[in-house]
Amino acid sequence: MSQKRESAIVGIHEYPKRYAPDVSAMDIKAISIKAALDDAGLSWSDIDGLYDAQDGEGGGGLGLAAYLGIKPTVIDTTSVGGSSYEFHTAHAMRDIASGKCNVAVLSYGSKAASLRTPIGTGGVSGGGNWQANMEASYGQTLISNYAMVAHRHMHEYGTTSEQLAQISVSTRHHAMRNPQAVQAMTDLQFEGIGEITVEDVLDSRVIADPLHLLECCMVSDGGGALIIVSKEIAEKTNKPPVWLLGSGEATKYRENGGDITTSAGAQSAPIAFSEAGVSPSEIDIAMVYDSFSITVAVCLEDLGFCAKGEAGSYIGDGKLRYDQPGGPALNTDGGGLSSNHPGMRGLFLLLESVRQLRGESTSQVENAKLAVAHGNGGLLGGNHTGGTIILAAD
């Protein structure tokens, strides 16, 4: 199948600080958009598509457009949790292909660390509504929902904590090569900043059985922005374009008799790979949402890198590291486990995919040509979304 190259990411910026008490979330967004425009060689007046997950103080499409002083002809305020930015990318691809816009901007800004937001230990939902009335009253926290999925995966398939720990070990290896990730761990007062072993992960305290501290994402400030443009504009920008080949979107929720070890990615990934005309075996970089180790394990299966139930054996001893053969490199910026997680991490999956395909990563995979960015928004095992984007080097 031929690979359509109608839109591309041409400008990126990741806000460098993971603890930034002296700026607002909107400052982070505006600073990042300006830097991404500069990276692409474009200006504010070029923007005609605005995609926003309604984050930041007074954000949303209407508020952000006024804040930035721009007048986009397309405004998309889809907000579906951590995968919002993969959904935005998919929508921008369609809008550019249909001629609705030519220069789309995606941005994110969060002060989760500065504001001490209890992302993982807070309740999964609040208030008395039709979604919460059967769950909230029992006091389940966000992380306990993921722990439930991990327990079920272990029960069904024999997955072990030792196998899941390999995910944390590999992403920390990448983080230690990323100065911004090392600074993040320093600023957020991590203990024992350095390479970790499986034993280190298992010796860290249990947060929600069977998930240990080092299997849980950090809570940080942060943000960033990226610019998506039409093929015609991509030919004139500063950096080599990173082409968007395919996208897939899906949602999943609890059902009687449903399988909580299968994510929405099982629906979104085949759509994206089919549109891109590539297979999982061809992927060099796998940027997979890592709110917790179990999130990665489940999504690796659902993306097609291994069969359902085989993630434990697939992960192997260091197989997912950038410098090891046998599998795609996983979360080469350090991921949500060891680089940043301000609450919704989907944008950073795209940013690192672009860095890899440009040859700019701190854990660079040699001759990287294809990447997948897969976001998981909401609660794995509960109400959640999956957004899958396939990217290619120029």
332: left (phi over 0), alpha (psi -120 to 50) or beta: alpha
Q: What is the pLDDT of residues 154-196, one digit of tens each?
A: 999 999 999 999 999 999 999 999 999 999 999 999 998 999 9
Under DSSP, the state recorded for 364 is: P
Q: Which pLDDT does position 62 carry in this prediction?
A: 82
Rounded-to-integer distance, Cα 82 and Cα 75, Å: 19
Above 50 in pLDDT, residue 11?
Answer: yes
pLDDT value at position 3? Answer: 77
Is the four-CA dihedral 328, 222, 336, 390 of positive or negative sign?
Answer: negative
Predicted confidence (pLDDT) per residue in 257-274, tens digit: 899 999 999 999 999 999
> Residue 60 pLDDT more than 50?
yes
Joined tokens for residue 25: 């979330």
Q: Is 127 helix (H, G, I), strand (E, B) or coil?
A: coil
Find the distance separating the first CA and the last CA of the chain, reported in whole Å: 18
Asked whether the predicted pLDDT for residue 216 surpasses 80, the reply is yes
Q: Give the pLDDT of residue 1.
A: 42
Taking the CA atoms of 391, 320, 36 and 62 in sequence, report the sign of the dihedral they define.
Answer: positive
Query: Which residues does 43 contact at the CB level (< 8 Å), separation at least 6?
Result: 37
The full set of domain ranges for the chain reads 7-115+219-392
Q: Name the DSSP letter for residue 219.
A: -
To the nearest whole number, what is the mean pLDDT of the chain? 94
pLDDT, residue 129, reads 72
- CA-based nearest residue to 1, from 274, 311, 220: 274
**What is the band of 205 on the pLDDT scale with cuts at 50, 70, 90?**
very high
Q: Is the pLDDT of residue 286 over 90?
A: yes
Angle at 268 between CA 263 and CA 269, to 5 degrees: 95
Question: How would residue 121 be classed by pLDDT, with cut points 50, 70 and 90?
Answer: low
Q: What is the pLDDT of residues 354-390, one digit of tens each?
A: 999 999 999 999 999 999 999 999 999 888 999 999 9
Over residues 329-341, the mean pLDDT reads: 97
Given this model, what pLDDT does residue 118 score? 72
Query: Does residue 123 register a pLDDT over 80?
Result: no
The whole model's pTM is what?
Answer: 0.96
pLDDT surpasses 50 at 16: yes
C-alpha triplet 252, 253, 259: angle, nearest 5°: 85
Of the listed ranges 15-19, 98-102, 325-329, the least confidently predicted one is: 325-329
For 156-169, give the DSSP string: HH---HHHHHHHHH
What confidence tier does 75 reach under pLDDT thresholds 50, 70, 90?
very high
Mean pLDDT of 122-131: 59
Name the band, by pLDDT with cuts 50, 70 and 90, for residue 327.
confident
The topology under which CATH files domain 7-115+219-392 is: Peroxisomal Thiolase; Chain A, domain 1 (3.40.47)
Lowest mean pLDDT among 7-11, 106-110, 216-220, 380-384: 380-384
Q: Are the beta carbons of 349 and 206 closer than 8 angstroms?
A: no
